[in-house]
Amino acid sequence: MNNETGVRRLRVGVDTGGTFTDFVILDEERGTLDVFKVPSTRPDQADGIIGGLAEFLASSGDSASAVTFFCHGTTVGTNAILEGNGARTGLVVTEGFRGVYEVGEQARGAGSIIYDLFFDKPPRLVPGRLTEEVRERVGSAGEVLLDLDEESVRKAIRQLVRHGVESVAVCFLFSFKHPEHEEEVRRLFKEIAPNMNVSISSEIAPEIREYYRMSTTVVNAYLNPLLELYVKSLDDRLRQLGVGTDQRYIIRSNGGVASFDTARGRSVQTILSGPAAGVVTAQHVAESTDLANLVTFDMGGTSTDVALVKEGEAVRRMGGKVHNLDVLVPMLDIHTVAAGGGTIAWVDEMGALQVGPRSAGSDPGPACYGKGGTEPTVTDANVVLGVLSVAQPLAGGALELDRQAAERVISERIAKPLGLSVTAAARGIVEIVNVKMQEAIKVVSSNRGYDLRDFYLFAFGGAGPLHASQIAEEMGMKGVVIPPYPGVTSALGLLLSDVRHDYVFADLKDLDEVKPSYVASVLSKLRGDGMRQLEEEGFAPNRCHFVWGVDLRYIGQGYQLTVPLPDIPKAIEDLHQLRRRFDEAHLQLTGHFAPEERVEVVNYRVTAIASVPRAPLAVPLPEDASLELAHVGDTEVFFQDAMEKVPMYQRSRLAAGMEVAGPAIIIQNDSTTVLGPGQAGVVDGWGYLRVESRR
Amino acid sequence: MPLDPITAQVIQNRLSGIVQEMQTNIFRTGYSTIVRESQDASCMILDANGDVVGEHVILPLHIAALPEVIRAIYKAYGDRIYPGDAFITNHPYISGVTHSIDMAVAVPVFVGEKLVAFCTSIAHKSDLGGMVPGTGSGNARELFQEGIQYPPVKFTDRGQVIPEVEAILRANSRTPDVILGDIRGQVGTARLGEERLLDMVSRYGLETVLETFADLQDKTEKRVRRVVSGWKDGVFEAEAWVDNDGIQLDRPILYHVRIEKTGDRIMFDFSESADQTLGPLNVRPPLVRGCCYYAMVAMIDPELPNNGGLARVVETRFRRGSVLDPLFPAPTNTYMASATAVTEAVLQAMNGLIPKKKVAGMGGVGGMVIGGQRHDGSSYVQYELIGAAYGARSGKDGASGVSVLLDNAKTAPIEVIETEFPARVRRFELITDSGGAGEYRGGLAARREYDILAPKAQLTLRGGKHTQPPFGTDGGKPGRLGVCIINPGQENEQSLPSRFGGVVLQKGDVLLLEKAGGGGLGPPKERNWDALVEDVLDGYVSFEAAVSDYGADPDRLREILFDWTGGE
């Protein structure tokens, strides 16, 4: 039913991945969702988005003006990093300090890399020849030791322009304490080279530790021109299509969304845009249901992303490595492992079965896709084991699976060399990839002090539900949760996300020397910055709220913890309270604390949040249903020792409260869920399938 | 029933997962900044024989020490090893520990009555007594000056902490709370490993797990022997030098290796290395074997598991009383410089076996310590490890400004140094022309220059390659030497050697530290023209060196430079 005017109000979430662009479209009045996928397009991802949206509108009969909200998850930044085709970028540094970027962390990491005589550092995004030094120096208290020498800046600008640089990062020592020199350089760029895209470190990552701040600023400069071009193209074409709403957003690495305008100058904050939305969905589920503790498990074709949601809150970190680059911006704590359905299995020279790290990708893809793939993949193993049924092709009928091809490659490449049956070899491939998944899950959970027995595995992505029930059972987790639309769970997160901006002010000082009034004034200023930003984006003050925090550490320690402040900073009468909370947080995270040691403040943080109306979590479920109606046939599946007949159920015909006993296969358009022997799946009131062990 | 290949592979993956979980846990729960921030700690799982079956490398030499630790525990305790025990030891001679400031912890894992494995770790401690805070003194002349020595002793006996041992530990450290906190963290980490290992045993069965332990090592041995067989037979020698032992400053120390390769056997003979040193440069044979393991893994395949199977292949010979097999109680606390030199010599000798994996000399490793008083009278210790460089590799330039070989330290942020210490950094940059010229250029080392702002401070350097340059190979030039100069270019300029302790610095002094660059590979004149031009534009090679060392046409190069800068 349309409303009085006859025009629907549609909220659109679009998540662009490597293979597919996923759409989730919410009818605001009726609360119904349309979900679909179209192939992703290169080089311009906007083609697929505009094409898919136009097609939808044409078939639904809605006008483009019906779109009231548009939110997007993009891989433009990630792809530019992986393919090395970001902007030609220059760097401006304090005279005498070009080594900061060239040396970087200096250490190599851990594992086999330590033995690698042919080791190379990850390539720097700016070569030495595009690095310019200018005369200036600020001291550790923010005091100017050497004035900015304008002539040396002008010369640097002339050189960078001459070298065809499109984008520049500016990073001076202690600029987070004294941003004026960097700002002056930006002003001079505007004067001399007005088209230059300029990123300054005191704005992009105003925190202590020059290399990390510099690297973050360089990544920002490297991505900015591309992202700006992309966002502008998308913006223009949405308008041409007739989508007039100003509520156009991009999801960022911190799981919050930002307006097109805000997102494009801070491109470094969008590098985890792709995987962030799925975690937001999980967080929303954890907030809204009794499933408060979740580990997300987004298994796709070539990689798998895992993250942790504890008591309704996704775990975040204040920086880290993304695609081997050091970035110092708040982000969801997402761990990616390079294994998925397309990962290739092989036998090594010592006769051991290996899975990965190479992947068949989507082209040619697994052998069973029949597109010329000649190497056995995890997907092929699932076909041989019968869990991926030939009768139930992937991705809404886009592919017909070739079982013979899957059997052939596993037989020739794995089973024969190892002297195993084809099913045993296939089972082995799945076992090994599952162990890799378990190790990835441990990285975000037990390795960080969380007990997996308190968590459900929230499985989505094309391959997540296929593997989840076995993985969760082996790890002793509570169970598995499969959302209603596993294939578009990420896109759904785009309709669940708040607008979120993070602000930080770095000022290293002994906590005993910090006055509460100072803390209050710093946090108020950051709050003011956030309020202004949100107002500019059109949010009324009553829809905005703020989260405060202070980063503290024991003096001499290298890492800090963010201690949240429950109230507005005016209420900080007693900093000892803060101190106590830090000790407690330290104890919880590391198992020890040192109440007698001195503590120092590293950073002040404010997150400004504006809430946007969210998509409803519950999906409509059939009222008139029975297991018999849902039982659409049987199939042969190999679990332990032999192929056995197991029932197949249609997910959309399962009603709330219905229980499916394993072993069973539950099929739906965009994914297949496996229930192992001894497991049972129950559809809850929201339409989420919960799988638990009944043993 | 023979072990099925899939179960073996699954167990192997789980084993490495357990070690990684232990590793994360030790860093997370570590108390001292050394463990938490510098991550100077390694965890490992060994079988009941004391052979490594699970490892995740951060510091490769720890792998060689732990089997010796287990042997020492057996020797000391025989069958008096019980479930719930935890052993500690830091003794370089009795237990083969790296140096006495590293504490090894080992927890036996029992299934029923049967001892099946040890979960272990080695972690650097903040202080275990000795001549100076931090225990390791470059001036130590015997082991007893390098802190208190613990042979293998029980820290817990059948689950009960032994208060006497804690009391002794406490009484012999300048930082008793920190070291006890760390040791408890190590024991907790080993227990975590034990728990995970027992889970694995209950799932796959003890027999299967033990078979996998054996199988992992057999596979590695088989693979290594097969690779070794493919190398030509013969004798290959190489040597490396360390500038001095920190006490006799004008006497370079020789490290010599003679590799004898016959069939699938390989012997590393170190007998011709220098006599043991007065200063603490000595290193014990188990660690020298660790250097051989390192070189073998590096040459064969960085992914090769460094386990007991590899150890079976590596045969070694030492001369008693040499720097590589010192007589008790010769001091060992600055062994790292020796270990690095040994590793370089071994790699170089192995180039005779595997000519296509050549590596020229590495830049200088080692740290710098400035200790002193701030203006308010509080004392500080500023400890820094500054980046060296890889030598050029076959087909590839050396990496610049990076930790090399056995070392893996992070750089200290300038903003943190200046905030916490009375020092100001004047410059931090890669040193132009420090990479040895060659068809493939050596990596560039870094330069740091400081203003000393403290009223008074003492400087200690544990560097290298100020007199013994990183070698070039196949016609490549050596890397540039390192230097340490106080007040460069001024009247009171003072040039210092690479290894010394306790030089006094005054407020207003300038300290210049330059590490040695990596050696070059192949004749410089063969260098690709575009690569040379890029080096000049990037500031890695000077115009002058491009002309004199690489034979660049000066006019052509000048023209390119002029075009690049527009003559500015």
Place of tokens 């083969």: B96
* Residue B387 touches chain A, beta carbons under 8 Å: yes
For A555-678, list the strands marked E by DSSP. 561-565, 599-610, 631-638, 643-650, 659-661, 664-668, 671-675
Q: How far is CA B542 from the centre of its chain?
A: 32
Per-residue confidence band for A3, with pLDDT thresholds at 50, 70 and 90: very low
* Residue B548 touches chain A, beta carbons under 8 Å: no
A155 C-beta neighbours (distance < 10 Å), count: 15
Backbone angles phi, psi at A125, to 5 degrees: -75, -20
Give me the residue from A352, A448, A591 closest to B5, CB to CB: A352
Q: What class does CATH assign to A10-80+228-248?
A: alpha beta
For B374-479, list the strands marked E by DSSP. 379-385, 423-430, 446-452, 456-462
Place of tokens 């099925």: B4
Give chain A positions within 8 Å (CB) of B13: 432, 435-436, 439
Q: What is the pLDDT of residue A396?
A: 45
Long-range pairs, B548-554, Cβ under 8 A, ≥24: B549/B437, B549/B477, B549/B524, B550/B437, B550/B524, B550/B525, B551/B524, B551/B525
What CATH number belongs to A499-610?
3.30.1490
Give chain B positions within 8 Å (CB) of A592: 29, 31, 181, 185
Residues 6+ apart with CB under 8 A from A180: A148
Give me the residue from B24, B399, B537 closest to A120, CB to CB: B399
Q: What is the pLDDT of residue B114?
A: 96
Is the separation of the CB atoms in B560 and B475 below 8 Å? no
Provide the number of CB pairs (under 8 Å) joining chain A to chain B: 211
Distance from CA of B279 to the nearest CA of A (A): 28
Is the separation of the CB atoms in B359 and B390 below 8 Å? yes
Q: What is the pLDDT of residue B132?
A: 79
d(CA A244, CA A258): 17
Is the separation of the CB atoms in A107 and A119 below 8 Å? no
Token pair listed for A548: 């405060």
As a whole number, mean pLDDT of residues A446-459 equals 87
Q: What is the pLDDT of residue A579?
A: 85
Of B392, B517, B401, nearest in space to B464 by CA: B517
Is the separation of the CB atoms in A268 and A305 below 8 Å? no
Report whether pLDDT(A2) > 50. no
Instruction: For strands A479-482 and A456-460, give the pairing.
Output: parallel
CA distances, A595 to each of A554, A555, A598, B175 (Å): 9, 12, 8, 16
Of B366, B515, B382, B367, nearest in space to B457 by CA: B382
Q: Say yes or no for a CB contact (<8 Å) between A108 and B297.
A: no
> Most B CBs within 10 Å: which of A95, A97, A106, A158, as the mutation test of the B interface?
A106
d(CA B469, CA B516): 7
d(CA A327, CA A6): 48
- Of all residues in chain B, the one with the smallest CA distance to A95 is B427
Instruction: For strands A294-299 and A456-460, give the pairing.
Output: parallel
Give chain B positions within 8 Å (CB) of A558: 33, 36-37
Average pLDDT, chain A: 89
Residues 6+ apart with CB under 8 A from A93: A100, A101, A131, A132, A133, A134, A171, A172, A214
> Most A CBs within 10 Å: which of B429, B430, B533, as the mutation test of the A interface?
B429
- pLDDT tens digit at each of 568 positions of chain B: 457 778 888 888 889 889 988 988 887 766 565 555 566 788 999 999 999 998 877 778 888 999 999 999 999 999 999 999 999 999 999 999 999 999 999 999 999 999 999 999 999 888 898 887 778 788 889 999 999 999 999 999 999 999 999 999 999 998 888 788 889 889 989 999 999 999 999 989 999 999 999 999 999 999 999 999 999 999 999 999 999 998 888 899 999 999 999 999 999 999 999 999 999 999 999 999 999 999 999 999 998 989 999 999 999 999 999 999 999 999 999 898 999 999 999 999 999 999 889 999 999 888 888 888 888 888 787 878 887 899 999 999 999 999 999 888 888 899 988 988 899 999 999 999 999 999 999 999 999 999 999 998 888 888 889 999 999 999 999 999 999 999 999 999 999 998 887 789 999 999 999 999 999 999 999 999 999 999 999 999 999 999 999 999 999 999 999 999 998 8
Q: Select the more confidently predicted residue: A647 or B500.
A: A647
Query: Residue A589: helix, strand or coil by DSSP?
Result: helix
> Most B CBs within 10 Å: which of A115, A153, A350, as the mutation test of the B interface?
A115
Q: Which residues of A58-92 are buried (b: 16+ CB within 10 A; e: fewer)?
A: eeeebebebbbbbbbbbbbbbbbbeeeebbebbbb
> Most A CBs within 10 Å: which of B419, B426, B560, as the mutation test of the A interface?
B419
What CATH number belongs to A86-224?
3.40.50
Give chain A positions within 8 Å (CB) of B304: 115
* Residue B486 touches chain A, beta carbons under 8 Å: no
For B74-157, list the strands marked E by DSSP. 86-89, 102-111, 114-124, 153-157
Of A97, A168, A100, A172, nearest in space to A142 by CA: A172
Looking at the DSSP assignment, which residues form a beta bridge with residue A532?
none
Of A189, A185, A226, A182, nearest in space to A203 by CA: A182
Residues 6+ apart with CB under 8 A from A315: A307, A308, A309, A332, A333, A444, A448
Sequence spans of domains, chain A: 10-80+228-248, 86-224, 343-377+390-433, 499-610, 627-693
Q: Which residues of A206-237 are buried (b: 16+ CB within 10 A; e: fewer)?
A: bbbbbbbbbbbbbbbbbbbbbbbebbeebbeb
Is the separation of the CB atoms in A617 and A591 below 8 Å? no
Give me the residue from B14, B29, B385 closest to A590, CB to CB: B29
Give me the residue from A103, A119, A436 closest to B401, CB to CB: A103
Q: Select the more confidently predicted residue: B302 or A584.
A: B302
Q: Say yes or no for a CB contact (<8 Å) between B223 and A508.
A: no
Q: Say yes or no for a CB contact (<8 Å) between B29 and A100.
A: no
d(CA A678, CA B403): 52
Q: What H or E segment, with its residue span, contains residue B500?
A: strand B499-506
Give me the residue from A105, A140, A558 closest to B37, CB to CB: A558
Give me the residue from B303, B415, B540 closest to A112, CB to CB: B303
Q: What is the pLDDT of residue A20?
A: 83
- Of all residues in chain B, the one with the smallest CA distance to A163 is B564
Place of tokens 């951060």: B58
Token pair listed for A37: 């996928």
pLDDT digits (tens, 9 = 90+) for A495-549: 998 888 889 898 888 888 888 888 888 888 999 999 998 888 788 888 898 988 8
Of A312, A322, A280, A313, nearest in space to A298 by CA: A280
Highest-scoring range by mean pLDDT, A65-79, A238-252, A497-511, B283-297: B283-297
> Most A CBs within 10 Å: which of B415, B447, B537, B541, as the mutation test of the A interface?
B415
Q: Say yes or no for a CB contact (<8 Å) between A449 and B28.
A: yes
Report whether pLDDT(A237) > 90. yes
Of A254, A261, A198, nearest in space to A228 by CA: A261
Distance from CA of A504 to the nearest CA of B (A): 17
Q: What is the pLDDT of residue A393?
A: 46
Is the separation of the CB atoms in B107 and B157 below 8 Å? no
Q: What is the pLDDT of residue B492?
A: 95
Q: Select the more confidently predicted residue: A319 or B415.
A: B415
Q: What is the pLDDT of residue A567?
A: 63
As a whole number, mean pLDDT of residues A566-591 equals 71
Give chain B positions within 8 Å (CB) of A424: 6
* Residue B178 touches chain A, beta carbons under 8 Å: no
Predicted structure pTM score: 0.91
Place of tokens 């060239």: A102
As a whole number, mean pLDDT of residues A647-666 equals 92
Q: What is the pLDDT of residue A391?
A: 57
Q: Select the more confidently predicted residue: A693 or A589.
A: A693
Say yes or no: ipTM exceeds 0.85: yes
Residues 6+ apart with CB under 8 A from A75: A16, A17, A18, A45, A273, A274
Task: Please give the full DSSP string across A158-172, using - where no structure is assigned.
Answer: HHHHHTT--EEEEE-
Q: Say yes or no for a CB contact (<8 Å) between B539 and A128.
A: yes
Q: What is the pLDDT of residue A591?
A: 60
- Of all residues in chain A, the one with the smallest CA distance to B401 is A103
- Percentage above 70 pLDDT, chain A: 95
* Residue B25 touches chain A, beta carbons under 8 Å: yes
Residues 6+ apart with CB under 8 A from A116: B298, B302
B243 burial via Cβ count (<10 Å: 0-12, 13-18, 19+): buried
pLDDT digits (tens, 9 = 90+) for A166-186: 999 999 999 999 999 999 999
Report whether pLDDT(A395) > 60. no
Query: Residue A112: helix, strand or coil by DSSP?
Result: helix
- Of all residues in chain B, the one with the smallest CA distance to A113 is B302
d(CA A625, CA A658): 9
Distance from CA of B392 to the nearest CA of A (A): 9
pLDDT digits (tens, 9 = 90+) for A460-494: 988 899 999 999 998 999 999 999 989 889 999 99
Q: What is the pLDDT of residue A389?
A: 75
Q: Say yes or no for a CB contact (<8 Å) between A173 and B415.
A: yes
Place of tokens 């809850």: A684
Is the separation of the CB atoms in A458 and A285 below 8 Å? yes
> Most B CBs within 10 Å: which of A112, A157, A586, as the mutation test of the B interface?
A112
Of A51, A65, A47, nearest in space to A6 by CA: A65
Q: Tell me the one-letter amino acid at A314.
A: A
Give me the residue from A96, A106, A127 closest to B427, CB to CB: A96
Distance from CA of B270 to the nearest CA of A (A): 22
